[in-house]
Chains A and B, each alone.
Chain A
Amino acid sequence: MVMMSKIRGFFNSIFSKLFRVKKTIKLGFYGPVNAGKSSLANRISKDFTGEEMSSVSKVPHETRTIIQKEKVKIKYNDKEMDFNLIDTPGIATRIDYEDFLKFKMNDEEAKERAKEATQGVIESIKWLDQVDCVLVVLDATQDPYSQVNITIIGNLAARNTPILIVANKVDLKSSKIQRVEDAFPQYKVIGISAMTGKNMDELYKEIFNLIKK
């Protein structure tokens, strides 16, 4: 699967360079649960289309299917390009329906949400082959050395997919961007707040740098 993706990527790249095709970039939002992927996707979507694309919640696994917003024209200075924004369910290695009971759900609702959440994780992993470049969204207040983060980044690296690590929630006092930078020294890390919009211009600049790769 990875090999097919690499071959496809290689030919796409050659074709684009030869014929200068201006294609739409599929920009994926990947990360662990509750890191703020949907909030960031909403922020970007709203900045350039005026509309949000995903619902957000403090309840884990709010996004349980892939959500796409097509033809979002992102602009930075004199540059502009069309993107398909692909918001993915958070990846987790465990899902316990009892955790949802804490959020005023009844037994049936919690079980249904857990079932949908497991499907969401599977779908996210399958979509790793479909995206052109990825914003790996991490919660800057949390330990960055989690296996989920390492597995996501390792899988994208194995597919040669360009990655930008977004350390979200820098508006919170407990956020530590340096810790994220130390954990992934080979990647560009940019600290933002999807909630307040802090540092979004810098993010847009880095997205254009990312697609040059």
Chain B
Amino acid sequence: MLTLQFIPGYELNGLEVNQKIRKILGLVRKDRILVIEGRLSSEEEALLIQRTMEEISKEFKGVEICSVDYRKNEKTLPQKIREMLASMLLGGREGFSIVGPASIVREIKRNPDKIELLFSNNKR
């Protein structure tokens, strides 16, 4: 059975980055596929990859990650200012991230307009 778990932004926003990554990895290692409100930053993604590599074993093959920032690059100055203010108020929660165990999520395909999660046929 697949378990999809939604993590609201407020559950992670107060955590220090190492705690945040530990919490995410802990849940993924329990075979949960996480949908995290508020995308992980690039630095957090890099740290998640580092910590994942430290834990790779015969049983744990790694993770699949997909972070989506739905802000567009082509913006007018007022739009950018509004976005910056919203980001400051909400703690930079634009977008979302999906993180799942590599043994279950074979691949996450991303086109500019859609995201496809491809699952493994047999969990090793």
- B94 close to chain A: CB less than 8 A: no
Q: Once bound together, how far apart are the Cα atoms of A179 and B66, in whole Å?
A: 19
Across-interface contacts of A145 in B (CB, < 8 A): 109-112
Min CB gap B8→A, angstroms: 22
A128, B46: Cβ atoms under 8 Å? yes
Given the contacts A98-B124, A147-B67, A121 and B49 also touching, CB distance less than 8 Å: yes
Which of B45, B50, B111 lies in contact with A154, CB distance below 8 A?
B45
What size tier do the contact residues of chain A reach? 20 to 34
Alpha-carbon distance between A92 and B62 when the two chains are bound, in angstroms: 9
Please indicate the chain B residues that have their CB under 8 angstroms from the CB of A151 in the complex.
Answer: 42, 45-46, 49, 65, 67
Is there an interface contact between A97 and B58, defined as CB atoms closer than 8 Å? yes
In the complex, which residues 170-213 of chain A have their Cβ closer than 8 Å to any Cβ of chain B? 185-186
Q: Does B63 contact A (CB under 8 A)?
A: yes
Q: Is the CB of A95 within 8 A of B61?
A: yes
Judge whether B42 and A155 touch: CB under 8 Å. yes
Size band of the interface chain B makes with A: 20 to 34
Residue B121 interfacial (CB < 8 Å): no
Complex CA–CA separation, A91 to B61 (angstroms): 14
Within 8 A of A (CB), among B43-64: 43, 45-46, 49-50, 52-54, 56, 58, 61-64
- Residue of B58, B63, B110 near A93 (CB, 8 A) is B63
Q: In the bound complex, what is the Cα–Cα distance between A82 and B112 (angstroms)?
A: 39
On whether the beta carbons of B56 and A114 are closer than 8 Å, the reply is yes
Considering only residues 148-170 of chain A, those with a C-beta below 8 Å from chain B are 150-151, 154-155, 157-158
Which residue of A93, A95, A155 contacts B65 across the interface (Cβ within 8 Å)?
A93
The answer to whether A94 and B43 touch across the interface, beta carbons within 8 angstroms, is no
- A118/B54 contact (C-beta < 8 A), A150-B67, A186-B73 known: yes
The answer to the question of A131 belonging to the interface, with a C-beta cut-off of 8 Å to chain B, is no
Q: How many angstroms between the C-alpha atoms of A143 and B61 in the bound complex? A: 22
The residue from A95, A143, A155 contacting B109, defined by CB atoms under 8 A apart? A143
Bound complex: CA of A148 vs CA of B108, how far in Å? Answer: 11
Q: Could you list 11 further interchain pairs (A-B, Cβ under 8 angstroms) beyond the known A92-B62, A150-B42, A185-B73?
A: A93-B64, A94-B61, A94-B62, A95-B56, A96-B62, A122-B54, A128-B46, A145-B111, A147-B66, A147-B108, A154-B45
The 7 nearest A-B residue pairs measured at CB? A154-B42, A94-B62, A94-B102, A118-B53, A151-B45, A96-B61, A145-B110
16 contacts between A and B (CB under 8 A): A92-B62, A95-B61, A97-B58, A115-B56, A121-B53, A122-B53, A122-B54, A145-B111, A147-B108, A147-B110, A151-B46, A155-B45, A157-B42, A158-B41, A158-B42, A186-B73
